[in-house]
Structures are given as C-alpha cells and as structure tokens.
Amino acid sequence: MNSKPYLVAFVSAFGLIIISAIIGNIFESEGVITVENIGLKGIESVMHFYFLLFIIFYPAIFYFRTNNIEEVTRIIIPLFVFMIFIFVLLTNSADERHNIILYFVFLFILTGDCIINWSTHIKFSIIPFSLAHILLGTYYIFDTRFKGKDFLFLIPVLIFSALLFFMARGEIKGALLQSAFIIYLTILNFMLWRALCYLGSKQNSLKILLVIVGSLFFYMTDIFVSLHAIYGNKMFITLIWIIYPPALFFLSLINIRQFKINLLEVKK
C-alpha cells in the first residue's frame, strides 16, 4: 500500500484543524460566534446532529471493519475520530485549563487511528495511543482530588492485569516484548484506575457514569488489540469494534453537563 497520499491527507487535515481553531478563536473574540447569535436551540440542534452522526457511523464502521473492507475504513474511521475531536474542541472550555489536556487526548487518538489506517507502520500507533491514555489519566487527576482511599480502586485493576499477563506470557516471545507488554499494561492501568476514582468523587452522576464506562471501554479496546496481536483470533476484532466507537463517544461527552450549564449562565 502506498501510504504517501494518506500521509498528505493527514498533514492537510491537521493543518485544517489548526486553521479552523484560529478562525474560530477570532470569530469568538470578535463576537461573531456567541450563544446569543447561535441560540440555545441551535446548539441543541448541533447536539442532536452529533448523536445522529454517531448512530450512522457506528454500524457502518463495525460492518466495514469486521468485514475488512479497507478501502472504506481508511476513510470513515479517521473521519469519525476527527468528528469526535472537533466536538471535544467545541464543548470543552479552555478557561478550565485542565480541559486543554482533553484536546491533546483526542488529538493523539486521531493521530493513532490515522497511522493505523494510512500508514504501513501500524506498530508506531502505540506511541500516540500510550500518550492518549497517560494524558487521560492525568486529566482525571486534575479533575478529582487525590485521596488515600483511591488506592482501593487500584486493587481490582492490578489483579485483572496480573492475571492477564500470566495468562498471555507464554505466547509472547522474548523478554523485550514481554517488557513492552508490561509497560503498556501499566499505562492502561493508570488511566482506568484514575477513572474508577470518580466513584469516590463529588462529580455529577452523569459525568461519573460517562467517565467510567468510556474509560472501561477504551481500556478493554486496547486489551483486545493486544490479545489479537498475541493470539491472532479474529474474535478480538469484533470485540474491538463493538466497544471502541462507543468509548470515544462517551468520553467526548464527559463535560457535556457543564457545557450546558455554562451556556445557560452566558444566556442569563
């Protein structure tokens, strides 16, 4: 596969993101894009359109990816993740500084999916996805206060990952690959642990649910990716594409309640 056209497309798309962000910032600062201009009903319409797009993309991605129709998946998977990324940019205020971390979380996810779909060097996708998990866990730390009892939520995560490693260790050839698997498991564990800590936080119940379900799906997605790489069983491909799109969708909505509250305050 010639990856050059896809690389050009990726660079172009990344450039458009930067340009769009600059233009959007200018319009907002000049008062062109405001809640008063767009209206709450207009924003609600955008939300409904976003949900509709997910309903359309999800079965399409599942069908074409599980049937290995790469000519289509190379387009619709990066496009779907790009849509998620833009939604996160629009609904998470940069005034809350730690929200900026979320921008980079989804940017790295987008980068990882572009590498998988547009490059022959698929293994390099582990770098942006690792960074995405690390940054997501870091965001959770900033968003919730660290408490001593948080370590209790680490216990089930460590038990699961330890059992997984000892189960799969015999199929992983070489100490180097085993070490890489341990490091990646540690990164995934960090993210999921901090997500589970929301159970002991004072965040609203909707955000807690979206964080935990989205993070658990995101965690299990990469677990299934690892198991597919180890065992080569196509069943894991099916499991990946059952939970990966919902994982991104749920994570993109974690601040949606606060976004609506902010809009109402601005409207007043």
pLDDT tens profile 182-196: 999 999 999 999 999
pLDDT value of position 148:
83
Query: For residue 61, what is the enclosing H or E element?
Result: helix 40-66
128 or 268: whose pLDDT is higher?
Answer: 128
> Lowest-confidence range among 29-33, 46-50, 51-55, 256-260?
29-33
Q: Model-level pTM? A: 0.85
SS (H, E, C) 117-172: HHCCCHHHHHHHHHHHHHHHHHHHHHHCCCCHHHHHHHHHHHHHHHHHHHHHHHHC
Contact residues for 221 (Cβ-Cβ < 8 A; gap 6+): 240, 243, 244, 247
Judged against a pLDDT cut of 90, whether residue 6 lies above it is answered with no
Residues 217-247: b if buried by 16+ CB within 10 A, e if exposed: bbbbbbbbbbbbbbeeeeebeebbbbbbbbb
74-133 pLDDT, tens digit per residue, is 999 999 999 999 999 888 877 778 889 999 999 999 999 999 998 888 989 999 999 999
**Residue 37 or 254, more confident:** 254
| Average of per-residue pLDDT across 199-205 | 86
Contact between 138 and 117 under an 8 Å Cβ cutoff? The reply is no
